[in-house]
Structure 1
């Protein structure tokens, strides 16, 4: 029997804790005084505090800690690279293995959803209005921080649904849409309005600054980078984010297709695992760099490998072959200058990075204009985007003469 695992496109990967398992896992926490797990979380979710509450059976208190510090706590519990952050810093690992912080956070937010807790509330209005462009993690974190201080926030999103990469780029077996929608629903009690299907360009910024007390730009990186290869115009050559968006929204079948993904980051891993979940006949990952220097989180890489997806490292794409306008194969040259490789392919997915869309790439310098998220950090984690949005909100509150929440973690 095969030892590889099978992932279903419409079924969440892995099971969460039940109450007994969650309490047992929480009891493994060493209750560090200056908890390194909390210091390691860019979003300031404060796992040490919510684990203490959980150990005492105070699930509502644990949920309050998560939700007040991280407005996307349910989503982050599923996609955050905890092995590199909070769990990677856990002192317990020196004894046996780190506390499973992400799964505890998932349990708590699942209980929050089951009990329909409404934790986030806004302050009395302060009369200030702020516009957030883009409805991804940075903008959402910025908006929540501002709304909790009494600001009215309008979020303008070019897509038909808020969430940014959470709704459009991450495979649903890693992050079901219902979890994203749950996180978004926790914002209902705040003075935040969403305007989807509302693209904003650089030319619109000056007008927004006349209508709002401040403007935050968190539009992310949605323009795919490409490779200048012979044959790049052939039918079957795709860019990663476009392909992931189509896969998430339309769920096409890839049955029978031979798919080659070029790239070594998290997006490349998502493409590979999604292609396999969509029943592709053959999926291969090709890295230009050595595996040791790949940028993908190791947990995501291991998921791809455990699904039986081979990783071929240190090969550079040279040319794409085709017949009758369609892809048939792709040629590679080894980093050693001697090796050569040709892979048969019906589809080639380029996962070689993203950059800013040209219509919102340039921004004027203005004391009430702020930016954050992937467009300022070059494309990092969701928790890093949340941290960026919270920092921007604190700067906005200072700029418009308001005092940020004392407990806001930046």
Structure 2
């Protein structure tokens, strides 16, 4: 397989119908379904696996899609090993049910027959603005549309999806899957305003004047962290957000270098290594400051990266990036717990050590309360901020967790926005009735 094709091809093979039914038949049909209790988004694996076991694939699709508008995405990027699969009762017998692959089988079937599960009512309720089109924003938009609200998503980039479109390698999450899930949201009547940065291209006051009654801030974590070490500003030094955000939209049309160093040990670091290696880098090395056991990346992803021939060095922290004629030439690191020295040839160094938030105050032009890391302070149970009518959820609140947790937070935000607007509507109706009664008395 050539480099570009490998980059664009999904790494994990899908289940055939026979294998899917065989895997579903291993389910113990638990009455309390601990796997379902382990899903943050409430996708209810216990129920959809039961449907698959009895060959009711459409029933499985309905269960998934009604609970999770991004069911096909989560089937590929959700950390099942730490959530529903870890809770599976079969763990004490042999190995857990492969819930993620079964969910993928069901959502792939849904797409293959153009099955339509969700249908929104006519949008007769208030207008709601969603700022940011990542998983939290999409989940909020879909749920509100299903409740009859007129929803518009404002996205500063040319394409919607946030991290789904710009940050996850196609080998894990093909763009056509993302596009299809976003189309589901559009089919519910949700409108998208792209290349539109709220706070710059349009203000919150202007949106209010256009009739928007509530706002959801779901801008995610916009920027990569960098280490202020000698040579960090050399040509050839970049960060995960910029590297992945350039590779995926261009379908891998970029120069990745020959000797690539990736700094970090999370899933994003694995995506950077996969991208660089798949797109032709001769040698890719991941440098992580702690041990293999402490590395937060999904271990299946780590194994896949190993299979691609990526090298790992554990227990080293970056010390210096050496340049020649303004470009990266070598990378140096020292032992995290001892005085070991690591020196490697390099022409590309990618920092994948976490992300930081953009200050959201200029975006919404209001005094939203923040913590010391520019994260929005929002009520955990309602997603309400201190600003009236403004809600927030996802990475900009939790500091960067998983896609499925962003979906769960987006659903919660939608419920809270619905309650908020319903209370305003009822209060307005009550005031009108009282005024009418007083007028009648006169």
Q: 1:6 to 1:32 in 2, by over 3 A?
A: farther
Q: 1:298 to 1:209 in 2, by over 3 A?
A: farther
Give CA deviations for 1:72-124 in whole Å, capped at 9, x if unaligned. Answer: 11111111111111111111121111111111111110110011011111134
Hey, what does 2:338 align to over in structure 1?
337
Pick aligned residue for 1:93 from 91, 94, 97: 91
Aligned equivalents of 2:260 and 2:13: distance in 1?
A: 29
Hey, what does 1:188 align to over in structure 2?
186
TM-score relative to the length of structure 2: 0.86
Q: Verify the 8 A CA contact 1:120 1:187 in the aligned structure 2.
A: no
Hey, what does 2:176 align to over in structure 1?
178
Hey, what does 2:217 align to over in structure 1?
217
Question: What secondary structure is seen at the aligned counterpart in 2 of 1:9?
Answer: helix
Moved more, 351-360 or 98-107: 351-360
Pick aligned residue for 2:75 from 74, 77, 80: 77
Question: What secondary structure is seen at the aligned counterpart in 1 of 2:248?
Answer: helix
Per the TM alignment, residue 402 of structure 1 is displaced from its structure 2 partner at its CA by 6.7
Hey, what does 2:389 align to over in structure 1?
368
Q: Verify the 8 A CA contact 1:6 1:307 in the aligned structure 2.
A: no
Hey, what does 2:412 align to over in structure 1?
391
Aligned equivalents of 1:319 and 1:97: distance in 2?
A: 44
Hey, what does 1:133 align to over in structure 2?
131
Aligned equivalents of 2:347 and 2:199: distance in 1?
A: 36
Q: Verify the 8 A CA contact 2:220 2:357 in the aligned structure 1.
A: yes
Q: Verify the 8 A CA contact 2:4 2:279 in the aligned structure 1.
A: no
Give the unaligned 5+ runs of structure 1: 404-410
Per the TM alignment, residue 208 of structure 1 is displaced from its structure 2 partner at its CA by 2.9
Aligned equivalents of 2:259 and 2:239: distance in 1?
A: 16
Pick aligned residue for 1:53 from 51, 54, 58: 51
Moved more, 285-294 or 219-228: 285-294
Q: 1:255 to 1:295 in 2, by over 3 A?
A: closer
Pick aligned residue for 1:20 from 18, 21, 29: 18
Q: Verify the 8 A CA contact 2:138 2:185 in the aligned structure 1.
A: no
Hey, what does 2:355 align to over in structure 1?
354
Hey, what does 1:408 align to over in structure 2?
none
Aligned equivalents of 2:336 and 2:239: distance in 1?
A: 24
Hey, what does 1:407 align to over in structure 2?
none
Question: What secondary structure is seen at the aligned counterpart in 1 of 2:104?
Answer: helix
Task: Give the count of matched residue pairs.
Answer: 399
Question: What secondary structure is seen at the aligned counterpart in 2 of 1:105?
Answer: helix
Q: Verify the 8 A CA contact 2:257 2:348 in the aligned structure 1.
A: no
Q: Are 1:239 and 2:239 counterparts?
A: yes
Q: Are 1:205 and 2:204 counterparts?
A: yes
Hey, what does 1:113 align to over in structure 2?
111
Higher RCO, 1 or 2 (CA under 8 Å, sep at least 6)?
1
Aligned equivalents of 2:29 and 2:423: distance in 1?
A: 36
Q: Verify the 8 A CA contact 2:197 2:363 in the aligned structure 1.
A: no
Pick aligned residue for 1:160 from 158, 179, 192: 158
Per the TM alignment, residue 191 of structure 1 is displaced from its structure 2 partner at its CA by 2.3
Q: 1:402 to 1:74 in 2, by over 3 A?
A: farther
Question: What secondary structure is seen at the aligned counterpart in 2 of 1:337?
Answer: coil
Give CA deviations for 1:180-205 in whole Å, capped at 9, x if unaligned. Answer: 11111222331210111111138823
- Asked which structure has the greater CA Rg, the reply is 2
Question: What secondary structure is seen at the aligned counterpart in 2 of 1:215?
Answer: strand
Give CA deviations for 1:130-189 in whole Å, capped at 9, x if unaligned. Answer: 000111100000011111110010001111111111111111111111111111122233
Per the TM alignment, residue 126 of structure 1 is displaced from its structure 2 partner at its CA by 3.5
Q: Verify the 8 A CA contact 2:257 2:347 in the aligned structure 1.
A: no
Hey, what does 1:248 align to over in structure 2?
248
**What's the RMSD between the two structures over aligned residues?**
2.0
Q: Verify the 8 A CA contact 2:256 2:276 in the aligned structure 1.
A: no
Hey, what does 1:284 align to over in structure 2?
285
Q: Verify the 8 A CA contact 2:166 2:249 in the aligned structure 1.
A: yes
Per the TM alignment, residue 252 of structure 1 is displaced from its structure 2 partner at its CA by 3.0
Q: 1:337 to 1:55 in 2, by over 3 A?
A: closer
Per the TM alignment, residue 334 of structure 1 is displaced from its structure 2 partner at its CA by 0.7
Q: 1:345 to 1:192 in 2, by over 3 A?
A: same
Question: What secondary structure is seen at the aligned counterpart in 2 of 1:341?
Answer: strand
Per the TM alignment, residue 346 of structure 1 is displaced from its structure 2 partner at its CA by 0.4
TM-score relative to the length of structure 1: 0.93
Aligned equivalents of 2:187 and 2:178: distance in 1?
A: 17
Per the TM alignment, residue 17 of structure 1 is displaced from its structure 2 partner at its CA by 1.1
Question: What secondary structure is seen at the aligned counterpart in 2 of 1:260?
Answer: strand
Q: How does 1:258-297 map to 2 (within 5 A)?
A: 258-297=259-298
Q: 1:108 to 1:363 in 2, by over 3 A?
A: farther
